[in-house]
Chain A
Amino acid sequence: MIRTELVKTLRRPRTWVTILLLNALPTLVAVLLALTDLGPRPGSGPAFLSAVLADGTLFPLAALAIILPLFLPVAVAVVAGDSVAGEAQQGTLRYLLVRPVSRTRLLVAKLVAVIAFVLLAVVVVAAVAYVVGSVLLGDQALAASVSGTVLTPAQVAVRTLLAIGYITLSMLGVAAIALLLSTMTDSPLAAALGALAFLIASSLLLTLDAAQTLQPYLPTRYWLAFVDLFRDPIFWRDIVRGIGLQAVYVVVFLGAAWANFTTKDITS
């Protein structure tokens, strides 16, 4: 079943259009930087962007930092929100369930397919950004860590892979929320927008001092912690917390989705 869901995701034109669009903004930024040579001042703008003018091989990280706050979660919300509600709307859900596919298994397969989509998207964005960065911005192989020390290309490569993994995991919370909403409605749009509303609320509360007690539990709280992978030595605290928090979101929301979906009348 998981394999079938992966095939479905990969054969869907929407998957590839989304990934293409995710690449558009970072590529535009790279072109603008290359043409104008005007980088943001260190400490302002998206993470790593001030460093890429000196070293194009850091551009994958800058590209991920560009898509992480908004574009990637939007894509995840759309894909995960569509996963069950889309099948319901098309009418294919009832045929899957009488095939029969167990409802639990379908839910897990859908989540795995969403994670695979995120991983694919992140990897493609990083790869495209690497090529774009090397070609347009040059390769000086003198990557400086966020802490100021020099990282070897091998270290940069390993840490970039870790960042890809961390960013993929960061999207689990959104995916689980969208999946829950997706089991509650037959409208993929409503499920995706609901998950986005949750994220916007989370981002807003993060900027509000009065919400300080809530902040450690907000799904977007530790997203940018992937930057900590490029400190020397790696600063693990927020990364570990971020992974733990996403795990809690998955358990709670996937559990709720399971409870709802397995006892639901399928009338679509």
Chain B
Amino acid sequence: MITTTQLTKRYGGILAVDGVSLDVQPGDIYGFLGANGSGKTTTVRMVLGLVLATSGSVDLLGRRMPRAGRAVLPRVGALVEGPAAYGHLSGRANLALLDSSGTGGTRRTRSTRIDAVLEQVGLAAVGRRPVKAYSLGMRQRLGLAAALLRQPELLVLDEPTNGLDPQGIREIRELIQGLHRRGTTVFLSSHLLAEVEQLCTRVGVLDRGRLVLQDSLASLQRPTGRTVVHTPDYERAHVLLDGRVEHREGERLIVRGADPAALNALLVADGVRVRELGPERRTLEQVVLAATEHPDHQVGVS
């Protein structure tokens, strides 16, 4: 759905995006992670044809951007760096204006489509109020509604839960999951690890303009080949497992070996009490931090 090849953007002397090759497949919920200022938004803007790449290429829905924008962008819904609307007009009027500005949204179905998306994002009750009276969360929902208006095949969402309360975040998460089940591919850019971990099937990590990691969430979180054991008899366990214990933190032992069942049998047979035992998995946070570790811990310039 999105393929970029060695995508690079230079602003004067600053390399904002450096040789990024994204690969977003149909059916993905792709989590695009990166710290603020790592080049996420610039990449998203290049994908949508707003910013022109210095070098490299972008293919969106199989067509070269920005040339094919007219053909493919009607099939893409986007929320880029916060929502925007005309404050003096109502939410409904804003959606109608945007829909009538371009192709791919027939006039005949406009009003029913607007009703449907306002319902979807939970704004049905306030759709007729002027947008200037909306809260940040309501504006965010209106932005999402605009992105959904033409039932896009691909949703590009930049920080979609910005400004929402926990309840709102959950609703949006459920909305995205619902759309994904019905076949929409989602490209979600975020700096919130938890959001990506709960939602995404694939993850790309951008660090100072470079794509340092791109893999499915499942394989990033696959067992590490070690087992975590919690036991009050850690000293006996330590002796018993002689040399296999890699690390101990209080009653928590990290043991080499990927078979928790065998380890459990061994410990219990020797009278070691086991409180908790299981394969070690890395959290997304650990994966991302390992991939983006800077030798000098300085904030990058890009």
Contacts and interface: CB of A to CB of B under 8 A. Distances in A.
Interface of A: 1, 3-4, 7-8, 11-13, 90-92, 94-102, 263, 265-267
Contacts of B82: 91
A167 to B, nearest CB: 29
A90 B97 contact: no
Contacts of A101: 101-102
Nearest to A91: B84
Given A99-B101, A265-B51, A266-B50, A13 B88 contact: yes
Interface string B49-88: 1111000000000000000011001101010111111111
Q: Which of B80, B82, B84, B146 has the most CB of A within 10 A?
A: B84
A100 B69 contact: yes
23 contacts: A7-B97, A8-B86, A11-B93, A90-B84, A91-B84, A92-B85, A94-B80, A94-B81, A95-B80, A95-B84, A97-B49, A97-B50, A98-B48, A98-B50, A99-B101, A100-B49, A100-B69, A101-B101, A265-B52, A266-B45, A266-B51, A267-B50, A267-B51
Q: How large is the interface on B (under 10, 10 to 19, 20 to 34, 35 or more residues)?
A: 20 to 34
A267 B45 contact: yes
A95 B146 contact: yes
- Shortest 8 CB-CB contacts between residues of A and residues of B: A91-B84, A100-B73, A99-B102, A266-B50, A265-B51, A92-B84, A98-B48, A98-B78
Contacts of A92: 84-86
Contacts of A8: 86, 97
Contacts of B85: 90, 92
Interface string B215-234: 00000000000000000000
Contact of A94 (B50, B70, B101): B50
Given A91-B84, A94-B80, A95-B146, 11 more contacts: A91-B83, A94-B45, A94-B81, A95-B80, A95-B98, A96-B101, A98-B76, A100-B69, A102-B70, A263-B52, A265-B52
B104 to A, nearest CB: 9
Contacts of A13: 88
B286 interface: no
A101 B73 CA distance: 10
B116 interface: no
B100 interface: yes
A101 B102 CA distance: 6
Contacts of A98: 48-50, 73, 76, 78, 80
B89 interface: yes
Contacts of A267: 45, 50-51
A153 to B, nearest CB: 41
Given A90-B86, A267-B45, A96 B76 contact: no
